[in-house]
Amino acid sequence: MIRRILIINFHSGKNAGDLALLLCTIKTLKKVFENAEIRVSANWIDEPYYESYGIEVLPSLRSILRMETSASTVLQILKFYHLYLKAFLVSLSKKNRQHVNGKDLDRLIQAFHESDLIVAVSGNQVYSSGKYGWPLPVTLAPLNFANLFKKPLVVFPQSIGPLKRRWERWMVKKAYAHAKVVFVRDDKSLSLLRELGLPSEKFTYAPDPAFGLEPAGRIEAHEFLIRAGMRDHKRKIGLTLIPRMGRALNQENLTTYYEALERALLEFGQNNDVQIVLFSQVRGPVPLEDDRIPTKELYDSLKSKGLDVILFDEEVSPMMLKACYGQMDLFIASRLHSGIFAIGAGTPTLFLGYLTKTQGITTRLGLSNYFLDINEISQSKLMERINYLNDHSADVVAEIQQALQKTKSELEIIETYLKEMRWN
């Protein structure tokens, strides 16, 4: 019987997409295991969201390592393997209660020991990054901990990759091999797992859980936007941006992306009676991840050039963001989950992708015509897609609804699996 569940690999509630995935994961688990106690291991444990949603939070290994500090990568790697060795030694102990000389690590190991099921939250945490492939080993460590402590592991829908290094591919295969099932949310990830040689019975497709997120009320969302300066009589283009993100992205391509997007919005805004509404989907937890920085810069620039533009900077729930996106006539989504929210609210949407996850999901939906790779973006490409969405919005909405109808029916695959699985 499943009495205690530990959710691993949650990043931050300041990312509305991450928070939506966590809430949808908890909702699914509670439907199946009604009386189970659910705890969450998070990278950022001091955020207010946990208490407001009644979530018990524990530090993750990344949190324990204090990876957002200025400590060198080499020192972080050495500390990581030191902590991993301690956890391994504890797993060999018959009582599994050996003190490991670290309060936070004690709490995390105890949570693994006490849990009857480990669930990796949905997302795209598993991909090559950093100078040395760091911090991929830290991301995969909780999956390996589940095996160390002989706990069943279920991986909720992931996008996996890209993986640039041979050792990364080996490490990913090894981590997922211990799972009862790995759900992936796009065909690129399915292909990658086949390439890695993971047994086919170990993985299957399931949609991103955020497709099942229920929006907040339309009236309340409308009132939020009116207070921010929205004008009902104008067509509205909603927009999310991504920040620089350091080494994770090609900085020259990002500069081109910012410039092309601004020029396209200027051209469209000068030729049409529209209002541009800028949203910050991710508000941290560190400056490199904070959408508000480039969003404010774009707002100031467009405003100075005479465009009708507003900055929606309210800190609201993912459900409210989805409802607000539903108030838009068009949407340009640089954040994947802002696009998922927008199409789920019935808004014609152009997805701008910076990792393979966005292309994979739009292709799976049959909406690849509404995707542009940020690394290959240009003003002309943007204008072509924006004009098409604007001129054929009714047709695009019908196409989106058809795609979502199938996707929402497929969401039940995870719940069905959990109900049918023999856990003892």
Chain centroid to CA 397: 24
The dihedrals phi and psi of 121, each to the nearest 5 degrees, come to -65, 155
Write down the H helix ranges in 1-48.
Answer: 16-32
**Tokens read off for 235:** 């067509």
Strand-pairing partners, residue 237, are 276, 330
- Cβ contact 85:51 at 8 Å: no
Q: For residues 11 and 142, what is the distance between their CA atoms, to the nearest angstrom?
A: 13
**Residues 206, 207, 208, 210: is their CA dihedral positive or negative?**
negative
pTM here? 0.93
Strand-pairing partners, residue 371, are 351
Architecture, CATH, for domain 216-391: 3-Layer(aba) Sandwich (3.40)
Q: For residues 413 and 207, what is the distance between their CA atoms, to the nearest angstrom?
A: 9
Which residue reads 């963001």 in tokens?
321
Which 3 state secondary structure label does DSSP give 420? helix
Measured between alpha carbons, how far is residue 253 from residues 260, 264, 267, 360, 376 in Å?
A: 10, 16, 21, 20, 8
Measured from the Cβ of residue 77, the count of other Cβ atoms closer than 10 Å reads 17
- For the chain, where do the domains classified as CATH 3.40.50.2000 start and end? 4-211+409-420, 216-391
pLDDT of residue 68: 66
**Tokens read off for 231:** 């004008």
Task: Name the DSSP letter for residue 423.
Answer: -
The dihedrals phi and psi of 179, each to the nearest 5 degrees, come to -75, 150
Measured between alpha carbons, how far is residue 365 from residues 333, 370, 393 in Å?
A: 16, 11, 18
Closest by CA position to 150, among listed 104, 81, 92: 92
Q: For residues 91 and 137, what is the distance between their CA atoms, to the nearest angstrom?
A: 19
Task: Name the DSSP letter for residue 283.
Answer: B
**Residues 303, 344, 245, 293: is their CA dihedral positive or negative?**
positive
Q: Is the peptide bond before 142 cis (omega within 30 degrees of 0)?
A: no
Burial class (CB in 10 A: 0-12, 13-18, 19+), 350: buried
Closest by CA position to 100, among listed 148, 161, 32: 148
Measured between alpha carbons, how far is residue 116 from residues 57, 120, 141 in Å?
A: 17, 14, 18
**Tokens read off for 294:** 């480039």
**Residues 380, 386, 388, 391: is their CA dihedral positive or negative?**
negative
**Predicted confidence (pLDDT) per residue in 175-204, tens digit:** 999 999 999 999 989 999 999 999 999 999
Confidence of residue 102 (pLDDT cuts 50, 70, 90): low
Q: Give the mean model confidence (pLDDT) for residues 28-49.
A: 94
Say whether pLDDT at 100 is over 70: no
Q: For residues 36 and 48, what is the distance between their CA atoms, to the nearest angstrom?
A: 23
- Cβ contact 135:67 at 8 Å: yes
Say whether pLDDT at 357 is over 80: yes
65, 71, 73, 74 alpha-carbon torsion, rounded to 10°? -90
- Cβ contact 351:339 at 8 Å: yes
**Tokens read off for 115:** 């849990």
Q: Residue 77 carries which side chain, given as an amino acid letter?
A: I
pLDDT of residue 112: 93
Is 4-211+409-420 a domain of CATH 3.40.50.2000? yes
**Predicted confidence (pLDDT) per residue in 395-424, tens digit:** 999 999 999 998 988 999 999 999 998 766
pLDDT of residue 132: 72
Q: Give the mean model confidence (pLDDT) for residues 140-164.
A: 93
- Cβ contact 49:86 at 8 Å: no
Closest by CA position to 240, among listed 288, 283, 286, 269: 283
**Predicted confidence (pLDDT) per residue in 269-292, tens digit:** 999 999 999 999 999 999 989 999
Q: For residues 272 and 308, what is the distance between their CA atoms, to the nearest angstrom?
A: 11
- Cβ contact 216:257 at 8 Å: no
Q: Give the mean model confidence (pLDDT) for residues 129-147.
A: 86
Which 3 state secondary structure label does DSSP give 162? coil
**Predicted confidence (pLDDT) per residue in 215-267, tens digit:** 999 999 999 999 999 999 999 999 999 998 877 678 899 999 999 999 999 99
What is the chain's alpha carbon radius of gyration, rounded to the nearest angstrom?
Answer: 22
